[in-house]
């Protein structure tokens, strides 16, 4: 549908687009983390993608870059769709994976980036309120990371039920 938009994006940011494809009609561009903000601003203001459908993240444990943040965009005027991905490295013992927030471009990104932070520990720099959104404050770690043991609970309260 929006192959033309994808081609324009690649022409506009030749250095930012790492790779792109249009497999099965899903126009996708992988961009570098440092230029994500410029790409997104261009897509919103010039290319007309006024609706951010969702923001999510993927943990490709064992692969580099380990994390990928995925943005689905849509233009309400033309109905075109575009997928933007950004790969994020996580340094060993260093800072967590970081990428610039887009919550100032699309307010809907605010809570969705909080969810990606909660579940994957991805830090969205410049986010106005980067707190956990689903898990509780006391929770340690990020449960959707592949190295989090999926049945490891962190109870807030348990009854002493030695008495029946």
The residues binding another protein (CB under 8 A) are 134-136, 143, 148-164
Nearer to another protein (CB atom), residue 23 or residue 152? 152
Nearer to another protein (CB atom), residue 51 or residue 148? 148
Residue 95 CB, nearest approach to another protein (Å):
24
Burial call 113-141: b when 16+ CB within 10 Å, e when fewer: bbbbbbbbbbbbeebeebeebeeeeeeee
Residue 147 CB, nearest approach to another protein (Å):
13
Residue 114 CB, nearest approach to another protein (Å):
15
Nearest to 84 by CA among 134, 126, 26, 157: 26
29 has which bridge partners?
20, 84
Query: To 10 degrees, what angle do helices 36-45 and 3-12 make?
Result: 130
Nearer to another protein (CB atom), residue 24 or residue 136? 136
Nearer to another protein (CB atom), residue 23 or residue 162? 162
Residue 135 CB, nearest approach to another protein (Å):
7
Nearer to another protein (CB atom), residue 93 or residue 164? 164
Residue 111 CB, nearest approach to another protein (Å):
16
User: How do 28-31 and 17-21 pair as beta strands?
Assistant: antiparallel
Q: What is the DSSP letter of 112?
A: H
User: How do 51-59 and 81-88 pair as beta strands?
Assistant: unpaired
């Amino acid at each position: 549908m929006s192959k033309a938009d994808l081609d324009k994006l690649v022409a506009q940011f030749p250095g930012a687009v790492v790779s792109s494809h249009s497999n099965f009609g899903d126009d996708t561009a992988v961009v570098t983390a440092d230029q994500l903000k410029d790409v997104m601003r261009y897509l919103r203001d010039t290319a007309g993608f006024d609706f951010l459908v969702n923001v999510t993240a993927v943990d490709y444990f064992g692969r580099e870059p380990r994390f990928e943040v995925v943005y689905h965009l849509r233009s309400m005027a033309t109905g075109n769709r575009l997928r933007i991905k950004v790969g994020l490295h996580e340094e060993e013992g260093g800072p967590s994976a970081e990428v610039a927030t887009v919550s100032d471009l699309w307010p809907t990104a605010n809570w969705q980036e909080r969810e990606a932070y909660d579940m994957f520990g991805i830090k969205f720099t410049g986010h106005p309120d980067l707190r956990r959104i689903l898990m509780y404050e006391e929770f340690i770690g990020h449960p959707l990371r592949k190295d989090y043991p999926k049945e490891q609970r962190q109870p807030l309260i348990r009854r002493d039920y030695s008495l029946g």
